[in-house]
Amino acid sequence: MKTFYRYRVIATVLLALAALTAAAGDRFAQDRARWLAIAEQCKPELNVTEVPPVSIVEAVEDPAAFQGWKYVPVASPDSLSEMNFRQMRTVTLDFGRHITGHLVLRLKTLGDVMDAPVRLKFFFGETPGEMNVPLDPWRGSLSRAWMQDETVTLYAADRDIRLERRVAFRYLRIDLMGGNFDFALDGVRCEAATSAGECRTALSPDCPQIIKDINRVSLATLAECMQTVYEDGPKRDRRLWIGDLYLESLAGRYSYQNHDLTKRCLYLFAGLTDGNGRMMADLFEEPEPHPQWGTYCLTYSLLYPSVLLEYLKDTGDVATAQDLWPVAKFQVEDALGRVRDDFTCSASRAWLFFDHQVMDLEVPFQGAMLFALSQTCELAERIGRESEVAECRALAAKIRKGVRARYYNRKSGLMESTDGSPVSVHAQIWAVIGGILSPREGRKALEAVLAREDAVRANSPYAMHYLLEAMMQCGMGEQAKAAMVDYWGGMVNKGADTFWEVYNPSDDLHSPYSFYPLNSYCHAWSCTPTYFIFKYPEIFQR
């Protein structure tokens, strides 16, 4: 264990130094402004297209539909510009697909001049269910303001009006709240924006239909989230998270290949670390790029070196990898200080995110730590910085051995927590990804855990991504494909145009936020089927 302790001593000294530097100033002070300037240079132009509605629809309550509601077409939207909205009072439009942008419309005078303002309520929604459940009294655990209902007072007719709020939706209901003159709603359209550009890949023509559908919805999901950063969800949270960025960049490799967007996001995170050098888990762009202070998430920071490594593999841009290496390396060094000598983690005060699920975190944390160590070593080797991580592989081997001794139950073939927490699929996933279990052991563990009724299961597309990843590493291609068809195909079969933030196949109303309309129904971390489909065509496109 000597090397381990030595490394820990070194890590502790480095951290102490970091703290001192922070107290005196700022660890990355010299680079911060330059990094943010590079991020700004990589800011993409948005491609804007005008998307008109495809039909006027009516809501129908249907227990067989997702969340109990569906829309049926009742008229062509062309008729709208001739209909007197003063009499209609309400209309719901279907835009045919998920879009992100600004609504534009005009009030067309049908008779007399407009002699008083018109007040309209616009309600934009991603799913029929979200549009039809009463929102008030508010039950959600996040802000009511995430819901996309806007009451707007209009003072002029016969000219285009562009709503200020950027919205993400497929359906729009417009209600008349006040207005006493005859007018029609004319030229209703959305200025839809994305930075995605052309998709550069194509499926084999004999690919199964369900995979084609899953791939189409994955691409739509990613394109909608690609704005001036990789947003997590264009409805909610509308910001850049490290965990989402990692998965979006992987999916981007096999689709839009907009690597400059990844570069921008890497530089933003680097430029916005705290004085210690720690990265917050998420950031905002407006009015000036700034992190969400207080969201340090250890498992997200540990993914930063992976984003940089994958970016390097995609672009060969060694200069960027060199430039950002210190900040990437620091995230891992910092986290290493939390591995205790008995291989439990002292991360109780840090946020460890793997899933929207109550679960035991010990083994997943060690797996994430080990994965980050090996990715950091690989990154170092690719850019000639091996000497800076000379002890890294040996250290990883020691942690692996210790973690295995503590948590691996040879009899059950499972990674089990030592505090009596229920066995989880997450522990097996991260034991595979962290190289704690061999592919053969991993396969046994994954099969065993998935067969157990009492096991804690993956509860989000984010966790499902890592399940598929672990399965692929264990030679479980067919099971991975079946899981994809079952899970993401399940969303497609329930009418998803874009993949959802959370999906529980047996509970359509499931929400981590106490109220399902708050869920994001176009969520970045759900877009990775396209990554698997193109990375392993022999499995997924067959």
Considering the complex, state which of residue 173 and residue 457 has its C-beta at the smaller distance from ligand RAM: 457
228 vs 541, beta carbon nearer ligand RAM: 228
Q: Shortest distance, CB of residue 228 to ligand RAM, whole angstroms?
A: 17
Question: Can you tell me which of 94, 130, 186, 244 binds ligand RAM, judged by CB under 6 A?
Answer: 244
Report the C-alpha gap between 468 and 88 in whole angstroms: 50
Query: Among the candidate windows 240-248, 308-316, 338-346, 399-407, which touches ligand RAM by CB under 6 A?
Result: 240-248
The minimum distance between CB 47 and ligand RAM, in angstroms, equals 24
Q: Considering beta carbons, is residue 243 or 291 the nearer one to ligand RAM? A: 243
Shortest Å, Cβ 191 to ligand RAM: 25
Number of residues near ligand RAM (by CB under 6 A): 8
> What is the smallest separation between the CB atom of 243 and ligand RAM, expressed in angstroms?
5
| Angular region, 187: left φ>0, alpha ψ -120 to 50, beta rest | left
Q: Closer to ligand RAM at the Cβ: 53 or 243?
A: 243
Please list, in sequence order, all residues whose beta carbon lies within 8 angstroms of the beta carbon of residue 474, skipping any fewer than 6 positions away.
432, 439, 440, 442, 443, 446
Q: Nearest-CB residue to ligand RAM? A: 232
Sign of CA dihedral 356, 478, 531, 269: positive
Question: What DSSP letter does each residue of 145-159 carry, written as one string?
Answer: GGSEEEEEEE--SSS
Q: Provide Rg for the chain, Cα atoms.
A: 25
Contact 350, 298 (CB under 8 A): yes
When the beta carbons of 171 and 525 are compared against ligand RAM, the nearer one is 525
Establish if 503 lies at the interface with ligand RAM (CB under 6 A): no
Are 260 and 250 in contact by the 8 Å Cβ rule? The answer is: no
Residues 6+ apart with CB under 8 A from 144: 135, 136, 138
Antiparallel, parallel or unpaired: β 69-75 and 148-154? unpaired
Residue 144 or 542: the one with the smaller Cβ distance to ligand RAM is 144
Span from 197-205, 237-245, 254-262, 435-443 in contact with ligand RAM (CB under 6 A): 237-245
486 three-class SS = helix
| Residue 308 contacts residue 314 (beta carbons within 8 Å) | no
Cβ-based neighbour number of residue 487 at 10 Å: 20
For ligand RAM, the closer of residues 53 and 517 by Cβ is 517
Shortest distance (Å) from residue 317 CB to ligand RAM: 25
Mark residues 447-486: x for contact with ligand RAM by CB under 6 A, - for none.
----------------------------------------
Q: Is 353 in the site for ligand RAM (CB under 6 A)?
A: yes
Q: Does residue 237 interact with ligand RAM by CB under 6 A?
A: yes
Q: Residue 270 is encoded by which pair of tokens?
A: 């680097």
Residue 245 vs 476, nearer CB to ligand RAM:
245
513 Cβ partners below 8 Å, 6+ apart? Answer: 140, 141, 142, 519
Residue 31 to residues 83, 290, 433, Cα–Cα distance (Å)? 59, 16, 33
Stretch that binds ligand RAM, among 88-96, 235-243, 338-346, 399-407 (CB under 6 A): 235-243
C-alpha 396: how far from chain center: 29
Q: Is 243 in the site for ligand RAM (CB under 6 A)?
A: yes
Closest CB 295 distance from ligand RAM, rounded Å: 8
Of residues 66, 123, 430, 525, which one binds ligand RAM by CB under 6 A? 525
- CA separation, residue 39 to residues 116, 173, 223, 242, 270 (Å): 47, 38, 20, 15, 10
The DSSP letter of residue 350 is S
Among 126, 186, 224, 232, binds ligand RAM (CB under 6 A): 232
Residue of 363, 326, 368, 336 whose CA lies nearest to 5 = 336
Shortest Å distance, C-beta 189 to ligand RAM = 29
Site for ligand RAM in 261-300 (CB under 6 A): none
The whole-angstrom distance between residue 454's C-alpha and the CA centroid of its chain comes to: 28
Q: Which is nearer to ligand RAM, 280 or 485 (CB)?
A: 280
- Residues near 131 by beta carbon (within 8 Å), at least 6 away in sequence: 59, 69, 92, 123, 125, 171, 173
**For residues 134 and 294, which CB has a smaller minimum distance to ligand RAM in the complex?**
294
Nearer to ligand RAM, 191 or 232 (CB): 232
If the CB atoms of residues 310 and 355 are measured against ligand RAM, the closer one turns out to be 355
Residue 442 corresponds to which amino acid?
Answer: G
Helix, strand, coil percent content, the chain, rounded in steps of 5 = 45, 20, 35
CB of 274 to ligand RAM, least distance (A): 18
Pick the binder of ligand RAM from 28, 66, 124, 241 (CB under 6 A). Answer: 241
Nearest CA-CA partner of 39 in 324, 398, 343 = 324
- Closest CB to ligand RAM among 224 and 244? 244
The residue range among 34-42, 184-192, 236-244, 251-259 that interacts with ligand RAM, by the rule CB under 6 A, is 236-244
CB of 342 to ligand RAM, least distance (A): 29
Kindly list the residues in this chain that would bind ligand RAM in the complex (CB under 6 A): 232, 237, 241, 243-244, 353, 501, 525
